[in-house]
Amino acid sequence: MLVGVALLLLVAIALPGGRARAESYIEAPRVTAALQQGHAAEFGVGIRRNLLLAVALYCDAGTMGSPEGFFRVGRVLASAPRPLRNPALANAYLALAARLGHHEAIRLYDSRVASAIIGDECGLYGSSADGTRFDLDGYLAGQSSAKQRIALLIRNAARQYQIDPRLALAIAIAESNLDAAAVSPRNAQGVMQLIPATQERFGVTRPFDPEHNVRGALAYLRWLDKRFAGDWRLIAAAYNAGEGAVERYSGVPPFAETQQYVRRVLHFSGFATRERG
């Protein structure tokens, strides 16, 4: 049985274009952001090392379409201390990454261990990670000087627009990890990932200028804040899926990406921690 699984993995890697797919895959800004945040949690860059949070963030990247995200889930689960360590589940995620074209996954796949069946582990890891406090200031201190300047710009502008800076920063981190040059496959642009329609709506003429982009995003957040009576869950959901979707479902829409996005934003902002206090 184990030999059969290993052969399937080798076939997946050897399929024409399999390796090329992995190497040519362009991560969307939200995916890249989740991978970068997972790296910070895994290796303690700016924040305390937290492998559970790292797995949750890598899972988010994977479920948004990233082979690298699933590969990193498998890598962490294969080597983490107990109780997080799970070789059988690690194999399952490595196999998934390989099927998606990640050519390094086979190197870590352990043919001596039977693969587990993947269920809703990513959702469980995410829910468990929510119980830990995210050190927003520490995380920002671990970023480049250019990103720290953008974070300061967001803090100052958020106060002017009467938006909690933690919410604004959490959205910027979830959207692009403070990358002013980010462009998504749907043509969302800049640090706060504004689509052209939102740029036009809030007068943003230079989307790759951090100040223009941030001020347009904060004007939008101020509008959402009034529309949804300051409810951070609904504000974050609307920023991701549109206010129409939030109103249509009378709450956070049942879209996996939106639900993950809301969870990430609230975790980064410290919202859940304040609720429990």
**82 — alpha (psi -120 to 50), left (phi > 0) or beta?**
beta
38 with 57: CB under 8 angstroms? yes
33 with 174: CB under 8 angstroms? yes
What does the alpha-carbon distance between residue 60 and residue 62 come to, in Å, rounded to a whole number?
5
- Residue 175 falls in the annotated catalytic set: yes
Name the catalytic one among 23, 175, 211, 275: 175
Please report, for residues 83, 84, 241, the alpha-carbon distance to residue 52 in angstroms, rounded to integers and kept in the order given: 10, 7, 27
Burial class (CB in 10 A: 0-12, 13-18, 19+), 203: exposed
What does the alpha-carbon distance between residue 194 and residue 201 come to, in Å, rounded to a whole number?
10
What does the alpha-carbon distance between residue 19 and residue 101 come to, in Å, rounded to a whole number?
5
Burial annotation 5-41 (CB, 10 A radius, 16+ → b, else e) = bbeebeebbeeeebeeebeeeebbbbbbbbbbbbebb
Take residue 272 and report the two structure tokens written for it: 């859940």
For residue 183, what are the β-bridge partners? 189
Catalytic residues: 175
